[in-house]
A and B are shown apart, each in its own frame.
Chain A
Amino acid sequence: MSLVAISGNASGTGTLTIAAPNTNSNYTLNLPAAAGTVMVSGNMPAFSAYQSSAQTLSGGVATKITFTTEEFDTNSNYDTTTSRFTPTVAGYYQVNACVTFANATAAEQNRTQIYKNGAQAKIGNNATSTVNQGATSVVSALISMNGSTDYLEVYLFATGLGGTTPTNAIAGATYFQASMVRGA
């Protein structure tokens, strides 16, 4: 017969309590035959931030996009001053970013990019627009993070911009999100 052992930690002083829900039914929690860390809401970071102040970008340049307003940040891992996400739990993260322009002043192409530790990691779709049209480029990727020094940022590479085309700085149009999907 296999056994279930619960061991304490000699270095700690806290008490770990396993609490039952308010129920009159019986349930069984089946443990997997695998090693790993149990993931609960408290150790699975997730955040969502959006741009609330429009940026004007230069053509031919990968420009860091700023997202200064948080919708949520469950583990305080997103910094609105640097627009960086630095998760403190190691694992694999689903990352989404979307950048929208309001009205282009020239024909342009836009690619949203995820940067990891200051280097280009993933490139989104090439969104094209003509004069007085909007354009939206999105990127979605699964990225491994070490839980200490790794950080993510969003850049946008644009061509053909006349230098006066602003981003569409609203929550539904220009945003940056990430959520842990499993531990390391």
Chain B
Amino acid sequence: MTLFEKIKALYPTLQDADFLDTIRLQNDSDGKGDYIAKWEHPTLPKPTDEQLA
């Protein structure tokens, strides 16, 4: 399961548009994989490492 899929499963109400605006998942193509570059959602808290494990 990708990071995007984990977050969508955790917060099913999130829409794709949220990931262009208040949330940004990023991959710098440096071999380190996907990560949360920005989390500014007005109501949902940033997931913890435990929630995403």
Contact = CB atoms under 8 A, between A and B. Distances in A.
Chain B interface SS verdict (over half): mixed
A61 B27 CA distance: 7
B27 A63 contact: yes
Contact of A58 (B8, B20, B27): B27
B16 to A, nearest CB: 4
Interface residues of A, number: 21
Contacts of A157: 19-20
B28 A64 contact: yes
A159 B21 CA distance: 13
Given A60-B2, A61-B4, A163-B2, A120 B19 contact: no
Contacts, number: 52
Contact of B27 (A62, A109, A123, A163): A62
Nearest to A64: B29
A11 to B, nearest CB: 41
Given A111-B20, A157-B19, A60 B4 contact: yes
Interface core residue of A58, A61, A157, A159 (most chain B CB under 10 Å) = A61
B26 interface: yes
A80 interface: no
Interface in B6-20: 7-8, 16, 19-20
Report the 7 A-B pairs with minimum CB-CB distance, sorted nearest first.
A60-B4, A64-B29, A159-B16, A63-B27, A61-B25, A62-B26, A64-B28
Interface of A: 55, 57-66, 83, 109, 111, 120, 123, 155, 157, 159-160, 163
